[in-house]
Amino acid sequence: MSPPTNNNSGLNGSITLTPISLTATDTDNSLAREENNRTQGENNKNIVDYEGPPKIWICLVTQWPILSEPFTIILIFFSLWTIGYILMPIYALPHTVIMRIIFLFIGAQTFGVLFTFIQLPDMLGMLFFGVLYANLGWANFKDYEKFEAFLREMALINIMLLAGLGLNANAFKKLWFMILRLTLIPTVAEVAIIAILSRFLLNMPWLWGVCLGLIITAVSPNVVVTVMLKLKEERLGLNNGIHTLIYAMTACNDILAIFLFDVMIGMIFSKGNLSEQLLQGPVGIGIGLVYGYLFGLLLQFVPSRKAVSATI
**Span 212-222, average pLDDT:** 82
Nearest to 99 by CA among 88, 113, 111, 115: 88
| pLDDT for res 194 | 93
Q: Which residues of 73-86 are buried (b: 16+ CB within 10 A; e: fewer)?
A: eeeeeeeeeeebee
CA distance linking residue 211 with residue 36, whole number of Å: 73
| pLDDT for res 41 | 56
Q: Which of the four pLDDT bands, split at 50, 70 and 90, describes residue 10? A: very low
Highest averaged pLDDT of the listed ranges 35-44, 61-70, 242-251: 242-251
Indicate the pTM of the whole model. Answer: 0.56
Q: Does the pLDDT at position 209 exceed 60?
A: yes
- Spell out the alpha helix ranges (H) of the chain: 26-48, 55-62, 64-87, 97-116, 122-135, 145-165, 169-201, 206-217, 221-233, 242-268, 274-299
Q: Which of the four pLDDT bands, split at 50, 70 and 90, describes residue 69? A: confident
Highest averaged pLDDT of the listed ranges 91-95, 147-151, 269-273, 294-298: 294-298
Peptide bond into 205 cis (omega under 30): no
| pLDDT for res 196 | 94
Residue 119: C-alpha distances to residues 238, 276, 286 (Å): 22, 48, 40
CB atoms within 10 A of CB 256: 20
CA distance linking residue 38 with residue 17, whole number of Å: 38
Q: Which of the four pLDDT bands, split at 50, 70 and 90, describes residue 43? A: low
The average confidence (pLDDT) of the chain is: 76
Q: Which of 12-21, 123-132, 135-144, 245-254 has the lowest mean pLDDT?
A: 12-21
pLDDT tens per residue across span 122-176: 778 888 898 898 888 888 777 777 887 888 888 777 777 777 776 777 777 888 8
Q: Does the pLDDT at position 221 exceed 80?
A: no
Q: Which of the four pLDDT bands, split at 50, 70 and 90, describes residue 53? A: low
Contact 128, 116 (CB under 8 A): no
Q: Does the pLDDT at position 192 exceed 90?
A: yes
**Domain chopping of the chain, boundaries:** 55-142, 160-269
**Span 172-186, average pLDDT:** 85
Q: Which of the four pLDDT bands, split at 50, 70 and 90, describes residue 37? A: low
The residue ranking higher by pLDDT, 37 or 179, is 179
Radius of gyration of the chain (CA): 36
Handedness of CA 31, 37, 40, 46 (dihedral sign): negative
**Span 100-109, average pLDDT:** 85
pLDDT tens per residue across span 261-284: 878 887 787 766 767 777 777 787
In the 3-class helix/strand/coil scheme, how is 205-245 assigned residue by residue?
A: CHHHHHHHHHHHHCCCHHHHHHHHHHHHHCCCCCCCCHHHH
